[in-house]
Amino acid sequence: MSGTVFALAVKRDLDHAWSIPAGLMALAATAQPSLSAYFRDLDPGTPAWQDEALCAQADPELWFPEKGGSVREAKKVCRRCPVRAECLEYALEHDERFGLWGGLSERERRNLKRRLADAA
């Protein structure tokens, strides 16, 4: 897959600016244990970009809701995340099938992969 095609597809899918409610920002700023630190303890190969991910300081259930649950609040956090593109790239490369990654749901990632394959 061409880096340019990937970059254009990611930009098109991620180019939406949403505001984050103050309560959610407060949640992200609380001193909860870092998810990335937890996973790094389990797997020292965990990517370093996860340390900068806004989701690392929020409730993981936002990104992995029950079937039919909303990911709206998680998407709002993702849209402000400085490592959103790295997160999405990781999810696509590792075929992550569950949860919200890089601001995209499972279905949205499948559609993006299909469009990227068609463009190649």
Walking along the chain (120 residues) 10 residues at a time, the average pLDDT comes out as: 41 41 44 50 71 87 86 92 94 92 93 90
Q: How far apart are CA 62 and CA 12, in angstroms?
A: 23
Question: Taking the C-alpha atoms of 51, 99, 74 and 55 in order, what is their torsion angle to the nearest 10 degrees?
Answer: -10
Dihedral sign computed on CA atoms, order 49, 29, 7, 120: positive
pLDDT at 118: 92
Give Cβ neighbours of residue 117 (< 8 Å, ≥ 6 apart): none
Number of domains into which the chain is organized: 1
Write out the residue range of the structural domain in which residue 24 sits.
Answer: 3-119
